[in-house]
Amino acid sequence: MNILLIGSGGREHALAWAISGSPLCDRLFIAPGNPGTAQCGENVVLDIADHKAVADFCKLQRIDLVVVGPEGPLVAGIADDLAAAGIKVFGPSKAAAQLEGSKAFTKELCAEFAIPTAGFGRFRDAAAAKAYVAAQGAPIVIKADGLAAGKGVVMAETLEEANEAIEMMFGGGLGAAGAEVVIEEWMIGEEASFFALCDGTHALALASAQDHKRVGDGDTGPNTGGMGAYSPAPVMTKALEEQVMAEIVRPTLAGMAKRGTPFKGVLFAGLMITAQGPKLIEYNVRFGDPECEVLMPRLKSDIVPALLASCDGVLDTFDLRWSDETALTVVLAAKGYPGKPETGTVIKGIEQAEAQDDVLVFHAGTKQDATGAILSHGGRVLNVVATAKSVSEAQAKAYRGVDAIDWPGGFCRRDIGWQAVKRERES
């Protein structure tokens, strides 16, 4: 079959790598892709925002399945428009993508279907929001309702910080995303991500992961899209996974179906493992980036039938095999990230990194010039992924890969996986 994958990040290189390994896949196109995805299929220039152009391409190339990587096109309704044109799409409808597109939507769903999450209030004006914060006290969490590229959450330790965040959001600091603000109880615990494949009715547990959002070693500095990740998350025991499926994932699917907006695709639950059990922080409606880069190398089964089963509503008869090994990815970012990354700097040594034992390199913001050289072309630029029997070993292997890369214009964290390594040493 012919498959079109939409997106251009490290997540999409990992997906392209997994999909292109399927005996079911004849031709794989990636729009727009990156130099890494070009090794797995054919990159195509398509305006993703023009859903009709995407549908026309699918008809021309006889595409049997479209896989949507990022949330932007899903929230914009690409799955609905392609489905209306008779094209099979892996990913949720616009209505179901509201689970990521609107934090208030998700909080209301949790309230309606008794899904454990932080206590909250939602506000459309600063005065009411400030009165709520004054009554609740600090610390407290202030969130813009809409998509804000990871910048929409302020963890306010004091009332002043909370009020400043409220003024910034209602003052237009985050554009339309801040027209509504959600204020939440600050939950305490260890964070984990959990992924489930959904077909509208059934959910199949995939795997867990943990990421590092802060730019600096020791989890310091500003938030980023993610500087590294590993899977599985040691905190997620089998029993906890079952609890998350029973108390969070399945009630969400049932609630979405009951409302007439069934959820299909990957449900990515951001969880806080609190003393009272797992609670939902937020949902994303797609694979995480860089979490996908550590899930794909652990997936032993063919991914394509699983994606098709999600589209066709037959996940209840499905199972997937996973490696017990740990996969760990270190993100190499361009200097300046997450502010203004320096682009156009030359990267060497990717092949040397891949020549290391059990190491894969997934591209994100790279481009290839006319001479074939690889240049930085974004904030997060490469993922160096290693698999091993323990987190400590995966970490050591990943950094051996990183050290083979010659890129003076880039940097990475040197401590990805530190909590899990510490846990291993102490056990």
Partner in contact with 187, chosen from ligand GLY, ligand AMP, none, beta carbon below 5 to 8 Å by kind: ligand AMP
Q: How far is the CB of 67 from ligand AMP (least distance, A)?
A: 24
Contacts of 425 (CB under 8 A, 6+ apart): 392
By CB under 6 A, name the binding residues for ligand AMP: 118, 141, 153, 184-187, 191, 270, 281-282
Residue with tokens 């031709």: 27
Residue 199 interacts with ligand GLY (CB under 6 A)?
no
Q: What is the full DSSP assignment across 127-173? A: HHHHHHHHHH-SSEEEEESS--TT--EEEESSHHHHHHHHHHHHTTT
Q: How far is the CB of 155 from ligand AMP (least distance, A)?
A: 6
Partner in contact with 412, chosen from ligand AMP, ligand GLY, none, beta carbon below 5 to 8 Å by kind: none
Residue type, 200: G
Partner in contact with 282, chosen from ligand AMP, ligand GLY, none, beta carbon below 5 to 8 Å by kind: ligand AMP
Partner in contact with 284, chosen from ligand GLY, ligand AMP, none, beta carbon below 5 to 8 Å by kind: ligand GLY
Instruction: For residue 283, list its beta bridge partners.
Output: 269
List own/partner pairs for 35-43 with CB under 8 A and 24 or more apart: 35/363, 35/366, 35/367, 35/368, 35/374, 36/10, 36/361, 36/362, 36/363, 36/364, 36/366, 37/5, 37/8, 37/12, 37/13, 37/363, 38/368, 40/13, 40/16, 41/5, 41/16
Partner in contact with 289, chosen from ligand GLY, ligand AMP, none, beta carbon below 5 to 8 Å by kind: ligand GLY
Q: Which of 34, 102, 117, 284 binds ligand GLY (CB under 6 A)?
A: 284
Q: Which stretch binds ligand GLY (CB under 6 A): 19-27, 90-98, 282-290, 405-413?
A: 282-290
Task: Using the minimum distance from each CB to ligand AMP, give the nearer residue, 187 or 273.
Answer: 187
Q: Which of 211, 241, 293, 325 binds ligand GLY (CB under 6 A)?
A: 211
Instruction: For residue 407, list its beta bridge partners.
Output: none
Q: How far is the CB of 246 from ligand AMP (least distance, A)?
A: 22
Residues 392-421 touching ligand GLY, rule: CB under 6 A, are none
Task: Using the minimum distance from each CB to ligand AMP, give the nearer residue, 264 or 279.
Answer: 279
Task: Using the minimum distance from each CB to ligand AMP, give the nearer residue, 282 or 393.
Answer: 282
Q: How far is the CB of 226 from ligand GLY (least distance, A)?
A: 4
In 3D space, the residue among 282, 262, 258 whose CA is nearest the CA of residue 96 turns out to be 262
Q: What's the rounded Cα separation, in Å, for the pair 136 and 6?
A: 43
Q: What's the rounded Cα separation, in Å, for the pair 75 and 92?
A: 9
Q: How far is the CB of 224 from ligand GLY (least distance, A)?
A: 9
Compute CA distances 161 → 158, 189, 416, whole Å: 5, 22, 29
Q: Residue count at the site for ligand GLY (CB under 6 A)?
A: 7
Pairing of strands 380-388, 277-284: unpaired
Q: How far is the CB of 226 from ligand AMP (least distance, A)?
A: 10
Partner in contact with 186, chosen from ligand GLY, ligand AMP, none, beta carbon below 5 to 8 Å by kind: ligand AMP
Q: What's the rounded Cα separation, in Å, for the pair 355 and 358?
A: 8
Q: Which two tokens mark 305?
A: 């039938």
Q: Where are the beta strands (DSSP E) in 323-425?
A: 326-334, 346-347, 359-363, 366-368, 374-376, 380-388, 410-411
Q: What's the rounded Cα separation, in Å, for the pair 35 and 363?
A: 7
Q: Write the interaction track for ligand GLY spanning residues 286-315; mark x where CB under 6 A is met and - where it is not.
A: --xx-x------------------------
Q: Return residues touching ligand GLY (CB under 6 A).
A: 211, 225-226, 284, 288-289, 291
